[in-house]
Amino acid sequence: MKSVIVDTNILFSILLWKSKKLRDTLFSEPDVTFYCCRFAIVELFKHKEKLLKYTELEEEEFLEVFYSVLKRVSFYDEQTMTKESKQKAYDLCRDIDEKDTPFVALAIALGGQLWTNDKPLKDGLRNKGFDAFFEI
């Protein structure tokens, strides 16, 4: 079973119906366990009204889609990651984008791949030798 850590930008894209390919990947990869940092749920709820506006879905329809995404992703408590994985991720991310540190730390901790559409993050991490990315 492959572990894939989903960056919040992927979840936003799926909820905004921006990419059928992203949605299909999330819901049709049987040999993949998708993980995300738990604080991403807060970020998604914080932007719920914008998401509703841009999807043009009724609130009930949007919540059904939101719920199906939440069921497919296992949310991980960032506090349970080792100090070593957090420090290594911070060292990788600090001059790229510190906000992505928890996602990279989770990828390191689980030995998984990071699924992100953040090109500057991917380029920066690759330049530092991190190349564990989930590509579709």
Domain count, the chain: 1
Using the predicted structure, report yes or no on whether residue 18 has a pLDDT greater than 80: no
Q: Give the residue among 92, 77, 90, 98 at the shortest CA–CA distance from 123.
A: 92
Condensed to tens digits (0 to 9), the pLDDT of residues 32-63 reads: 999 999 999 999 989 988 888 888 788 898 88
Condensed to tens digits (0 to 9), the pLDDT of residues 60-92 reads: 988 898 899 999 999 998 888 899 999 999 999
Domain residues for the domain of 50 are 2-127
- 113 falls within a domain: yes
- 136 falls within a domain: no
Backbone angles phi, psi at 34, to 5 degrees: -95, 135
Using the predicted structure, report yes or no on whether residue 123 has a pLDDT greater than 90: yes
Give exposure, 9-19, as e/b (b: 16+ Cβ within 10 Å): bbbbbbbeeee
In this prediction, residue 79 carries a pLDDT of 84
pTM, rounded to two decimals: 0.91
- 133 falls within a domain: no
Quote the strand ranges of 26-99, DSSP E. 32-37, 73-76
Query: CA distances (Å), 44 to each of 75, 79, 83, 94, 115, in order?
Result: 13, 20, 26, 23, 17
